[in-house]
Every structure is written in structure tokens, then in C-alpha cells.
Structure 1
Amino acid sequence: MAIRFDRVLGVHEDAMRLRAQRTEVIAANLANADTPNYQAQDIDFAAAIRDAQGGARLAATAGAHIQPGEGRHGLAGTLFRESTQPSIDGNTVEPEREKAMFGENAVQYTASLRLLGDRLQGLLTAIRGE
């Protein structure tokens, strides 16, 4: 009997990939905190995970329709974030907020990693017949 890893790993594989990509987006925001007119971005995690799991997609029925595109980081859920205190030069990055989101995302990535590791450990236990 063949093992279907996509069923065994479930959503955790996609969650880890999206969390890693969100880390890149937040890091890019922090790196551009002093860049004039830079617009802070984030990932709509719920939309991105739904898309990764094969969720509903929009269909364009005419050529003039706006196509559901991907953001700068290659994710459909990439959005520009509204700033509570935009700077005079048009930059919307708030370093303290970004650092807090970076930490939160790191904790969520670690949780996904731990859940994925538990799944794999369970699979190894089943294979060994323990």
C-alpha cells in the first residue's frame, strides 16, 4: 500500500511554506524601513492557505476583467498593509509592529514544525510496527 504524504502531512506542509514566505515579506519590510514611498506588505494567511489547499478560485469570464494576480512575493494573498502612522516620505513600514509580527510568525512557524514532526514521528512508528 502506497503512502500518500500529502494526506499524512496535511495542511502543515503548506503552513510551514507560507510561514517561511511571510518571514521573507516581513524581513523585506524591515529592510526597507527607510526607503521613501515603500509600502509595507503582508500575507493574508487564511487566503493563502485556502489557495494552497485548492480552495475556490475566481474565474474571469471576459478579457477585460481584472485577473486575480500575485503580489510582489509570488503569493496570491500578498497585500499592502495600512499604516497607523505613515512617515512624511510615504513609507508605511512601522519597525516595532514589523518586529512584533516577525516574532509572532516565528512562533507559529515553530508550532507548525513541531506538528509536522509529530506527524512524521507517528508515521515512523507505524512503519516500524511499534
Structure 2
Amino acid sequence: MAISFDKALGVHQYTLGIRAERAEVLSSNIANADTPHYKARDVDFQAALQSAKSQQRGLSMSQTSERHFDLAALTRQHIQFRVPNQPDTGDGNTVDIQQEQSAFMQNALEYQMSLGFLEGKFNGMKKAIKGD
């Protein structure tokens, strides 16, 4: 009997790649906090997750065929400019460093939680295979 990784791993297999991409976008915002005319961006996590779940069952880490799922392209299409919470300070930069740091930490915690959930799922599958 074949193991369905989609059913076994749930949504967490999709969230890791999207959260990693979001971490890159948020860190880019933080790095460019003092860059004139830089516009803060963020990943629309829900849209990226829905797109990932609908386009493929499972997530591969390398793309060896043109038919494989391309996570980077998927998340790039869900990167949007963030609506600023503060008025323009005159240099055209829309990065709010406190908001970016908060979002980065929240994303990091959620990434760690997804890793923990996946670890639990894999441990459960190992026990089922070994018969413990």
C-alpha cells in the first residue's frame, strides 16, 4: 500500500517554502529601511498557500523537469507592495522597521512551528513503518 504524503503531511509541506520566501522578502525590507524610494513588500501568504495546494500534491525541493512545481515563481507572483502605516518622511521609503521586525519574528516562529509539526508527522510515519 502506497503512502500518500499529501494526506500524511497536511498543509505543513506547503508552508515551509512560502514562509522561507516571506523571510527573504521581510529581511530585504529591513535591509533597505534607509534606502530612498524603497517600497516595502510582503507575501500574501493565504493566496500563495491556496495556489500551492491547488497546483501540486506535495512539494519537491529541486526542479529537474519543466513539469515540476516551481515554488519560487509561485511565491513571486504573490509578493505585493505593503500599504504604509505611516506618512511619507520625504524620501519615498515605506518601510516601518518595527513592523518589519515584528513580522519577521512572527514568520520565524510560524516556520519553526511548521517544522515541529512535520517532525511529528514523520516520527508518526516512522513508528507506523517500524511497528513500534
Q: Which residue does 1:79 correspond to in 2?
A: 80
* 8 Å contact from structure 1 (residues 25, 73) kept in 2: no
Matches within 5 A, 1:21-60: 21-54=21-54
Deviation at 1:6, TM superposition (A): 2.7
Deviation at 1:73, TM superposition (A): 8.8
Gaps of 5+ in 1: 56-71
Matches within 5 A, 1:56-75: 74-75=75-76
Deviations 1:6-49 (A, max 9, x none): 33212101101111110000000011111111110001111110
* 8 Å contact from structure 2 (residues 48, 78) kept in 1: yes
CA distance in 1, matches of 2:127, 2:77: 37
CA distance in 1, matches of 2:38, 2:74: 15
Change (3 A) 1:23 1:122: same
Q: Give the number of the structure whose residues are more often helix, by fraction.
A: 2
Q: Which residue does 1:121 correspond to in 2?
A: 123
* 8 Å contact from structure 2 (residues 18, 45) kept in 1: yes
CA distance in 1, matches of 2:51, 2:74: 15
Deviation at 1:127, TM superposition (A): 0.4
Gaps of 5+ in 2: 56-72
Matches within 5 A, 1:99-114: 99-114=101-116
* 8 Å contact from structure 1 (residues 36, 89) kept in 2: yes
CA distance in 2, matches of 1:28, 1:78: 12
Runs of 4+ deviating beyond 4 Å: none
Deviations 1:45-70 (A, max 9, x none): 11110000017xxxxxxxxxxxxxxx
TM-score, normalised by the number of residues in structure 2: 0.80
What is the root-mean-square deviation of aligned Cα atoms in Å? 2.0
